[in-house]
Chain A
């Protein structure tokens, strides 16, 4: 049971480039979310999904797109990378009850130069 798998673990982008951060879970969880974590800022919600075909914006959605075509996958797309998007990105998933909390992926450390 792999849990939540994020790829890549590290990435360096040039300003203006686009890329997709991959996230997959094998726990049949309905809820999936993307967070970014910056020093002193905690985890901030970018986008989330409550099921296949349903997505919504979180606290800091600008510059990011998501889609949820299957229960398992929830990719995060950076449309035109900016230095302000340098951060650590975490994908997380949860069952519908939520009582067991979110399971997080290992994170992607992104640097935009």
Chain B
């Protein structure tokens, strides 16, 4: 089974950098997803890490350490529109396919 843990809430200042951590325990690792979800909207895909290391996409970066069961999402140059919930998800395998299991999400509040 999967066990995913991330902080419930974080606050940060506009223009700053914030790191959202995710730890996981899984019976078989098949990558890790990060999603962003604004209030009242559907989640949207941010990143997928399957190998160790840092992957950068503009202001957002995602890091993975498979040996430590640990990932983080790094948001730089924070903007007010980055206020949202950030969901960490780890797929489990069913019949050869990968079905994401989600953590409870981290609510990020960006203030001026």
Residues of A at the B interface (CB closer than 8 Å) are 30-31, 33, 35, 40-45, 48, 50, 54, 56, 58-59, 90, 94, 96, 98-107
Contacts and interface: CB of A to CB of B under 8 A. Distances in A.
A62 B6 CA distance: 27
B48 interface: yes
Contact of A40 (B45, B48, B50, B104): B104
Interface string B74-96: 00000000000001010100111
B1 to A, nearest CB: 9
B43 A104 contact: yes
B42 A107 contact: yes
Contact of A43 (B44, B87, B95, B97): B87
Interface residues of B, number: 25
Nearest to B35: A101
Contacts of B97: 30-31, 50, 96, 98
B104 A42 contact: yes
A59 B96 CA distance: 18
B53 to A, nearest CB: 16
B102 A43 contact: yes
Contacts of B35: 101
B101 interface: yes
